[in-house]
Structure 1
């Protein structure tokens, strides 16, 4: 009898969660529809800009190689022509970031077009998306090589670093957008095969190169964001062994090693921008749950032996999102006033757990942030294609 009652309660709980998820998806669509169609109208007018459009003489790579420079590195006043020195949390506005901006723009275009296609079913959005996808992944004159060997270089020290791999979090919505649009009649199979091969090659580089392996093993947000983007790309190419390994990594590495007993992230809290980095890492953790959970391996409900879970992480940070003035640590050294925005963890957490207050907070925040630092650390800006 007790077992029967437990099954009934579990069934009711499952039905309630499913109803809440459908409700929040409907509400989010209603809230974002006008914005999405406006963004798509803009995207329909855009020409392709890839890494070949602009280059830096400081890059050790070629025309087709992504290049960026470390954000927090500056000329040394004591040795202006020597190696740069670090000023943690302070972004140098003179470093080369054109490729990063091009990738973010690409992500905005594909995210907007895929979202509009999902809402309307109009294949004009798919046709326009293909123009940009072919420029980045197919056309030999303009494509980007599937590596990030020269990302976040440091003048006088490194031609590229492992932490630069974080720059391709902005390809996540490109990959997700492709999955939304790939069954459209306008999406020809030959280009789809070539595009997926590019992502498969990039997954291989992420897992075999020196920089890729170092980023994979990073103990803070760099490790989680490596996994987050790899999961996105692996879903696109249906790399099930990779997806399985990422589920294991979430359960055995990220959750037990990055989260404290209270739900906070000690390595992020130790930074000069603890608030922003905590938000960023929780977004990444939640996206892993969103992308990797299956009926047989639900990361949303997974809990370590000592009680750590994604819900505990959400419950720890949420009060400081609802009211930033309650933050117990010093304000971030930069961009303190720019956070939070409509964080993905609020929407997807609310959607799974049926938390109306989280959803209400999400919709009350900035749904279309424009601050460059915020956008750079917000890979999910078109949530409808993920729900």
Structure 2
């Protein structure tokens, strides 16, 4: 009896070993904690931001986002106070009163300021920056220039969508968020994405690779903000298969090996691309593609100075974390 039991155990163990050998290796978790992956990077960025004296919108946005991410990560109020101080020192006149207002694309860094405000609202006095954001939103929806950019078929429309969505989240404006979801499904997907997952308008520019990546991050950032359990946006797909899923699938091998870029080389800074794209992290998590997340995680986070404006999101941790009050 003992001999039979031993043989039975041996047979079962051997079968288990064979089965295990045939199974694919365990893949990294696509939903792995962004806080865990970004911990050291966030604190390093925040340490630099604490001593920064930024004057331009892009620099203020990067600094405030880093400090806010560190505050959310550590709950140390000093980071929130530093973020508020930098915003207070920088805060310009309302956009609507500007004699020469900037383009919508130039204002993209304001989206990450708006995202940061969602986390700072209980820690510091945010009324002045909220008023500036409300004015910006009004301008984006009524002024002639931004309305024209909204209706284009390229990254200018994506920039408009990201800005309006980010401000709406920070102000808890559900009506605007619903309108942005409808705009994302139509006309945004139809106007911008081909059946192959490419952005034809960006591919036709002088810097097609950079603009493709910029647009990818803009649309993924907007989708990340707008996606809701009651109105899921990531699965959105047109009847011919056009979707952000198809764009991510087309771009992934190129991001892994830029030599596979099928278009012409950019006129400037082509060798500095692709960089670490937050859109890859967002789509990896949304579509359960762990290889996307792993590629994003292992790409150096440094942003090339010469093309910093084409990286619209510097702290994806803030975009993958739910802020107080569900926003």
Question: Is it true that 1:232 corresponds to 2:166 in the alignment?
Answer: yes
**Contact conserved, 2:115 with 2:318, CA < 8 A, in 1?**
yes
Question: Is it true that 1:176 corresponds to 2:110 in the alignment?
Answer: no
Equivalent position to 1:145, from 94, 97, 102? 94
Correspondence for 2:67 = 113
Alignment of structure 1 residues 8-27 onto 2, 5 Å: 20=29, 23-24=31-32, 26=33
Equivalent position to 1:264, from 193, 198, 204? 198
Equivalent position to 1:45, from 43, 51, 63? 51
Correspondence for 1:10 = none
- Structure 1 residue 320, shift from structure 2 partner: 1.0
Question: Is it true that 1:166 corresponds to 2:101 in the alignment?
Answer: no
Question: Is it true that 1:123 corresponds to 2:69 in the alignment?
Answer: no
Correspondence for 2:274 = 340
**Equivalent position SS for 2:104:** helix
User: What does the per-residue CA deviation read over 1:83-141, in whole Å, with 9 as the maximum and x for residues that have no partner?
Assistant: xxxxxxxxxxxxxxxxxxx111101210111111111100001111111222233xxxx
Correspondence for 1:381 = 314
- Structure 1 residue 264, shift from structure 2 partner: 0.7
Q: 1:148 to 1:280 in 2, by over 3 A?
A: farther
User: What does the per-residue CA deviation read over 1:327-352, in whole Å, with 9 as the maximum and x for residues that have no partner?
Assistant: 12221111110111110111111111
Aligned structure 1 segments of 4 or more residues deviating by more than 3 angstroms: 147-150
Correspondence for 1:31 = 37
**Contact conserved, 1:221 with 1:280, CA < 8 A, in 2?**
yes
Count how many residue pairs are aligned between Structure 1 and Structure 2: 293
Q: Of the two, which has the highest radius of gyration?
A: 2
CA–CA distance in structure 2, aligned partners of residues 116 and 208 of structure 1: 35
Equivalent position to 1:216, from 147, 150, 166? 150
Equivalent position to 1:319, from 228, 231, 253? 253
CA–CA distance in structure 2, aligned partners of residues 377 and 258 of structure 1: 18
TM normalised by structure 1 equals 0.72
Q: 1:148 to 1:308 in 2, by over 3 A?
A: farther
CA–CA distance in structure 1, aligned partners of residues 48 and 222 of structure 2: 30
Q: Which has the higher contact order (CA 8 A, sep 6+)?
A: 2
Q: Which consecutive residues of structure 1, in runs of 5 or more, have no partner in the other structure?
A: 1-18, 50-101, 138-142, 151-158
Q: 1:129 to 1:326 in 2, by over 3 A?
A: same
**Contact conserved, 1:40 with 1:116, CA < 8 A, in 2?**
yes
Q: Which consecutive residues of structure 2, in runs of 5 or more, have no partner in the other structure?
A: 1-27, 321-327
- Structure 1 residue 48, shift from structure 2 partner: 5.5
**Equivalent position SS for 2:245:** helix
TM normalised by structure 2 equals 0.84
CA–CA distance in structure 2, aligned partners of residues 121 and 261 of structure 1: 45
Alignment of structure 1 residues 44-123 onto 2, 5 Å: 44-47=50-53, 49=55, 102-123=56-77
Q: 1:148 to 1:351 in 2, by over 3 A?
A: farther
- Structure 1 residue 148, shift from structure 2 partner: 8.7
**Equivalent position SS for 2:231:** coil
Alignment RMSD (CA, Å): 1.9
More helix by share: 2
User: What does the per-residue CA deviation read over 1:71-90, in whole Å, with 9 as the maximum and x for residues that have no partner?
Assistant: xxxxxxxxxxxxxxxxxxxx
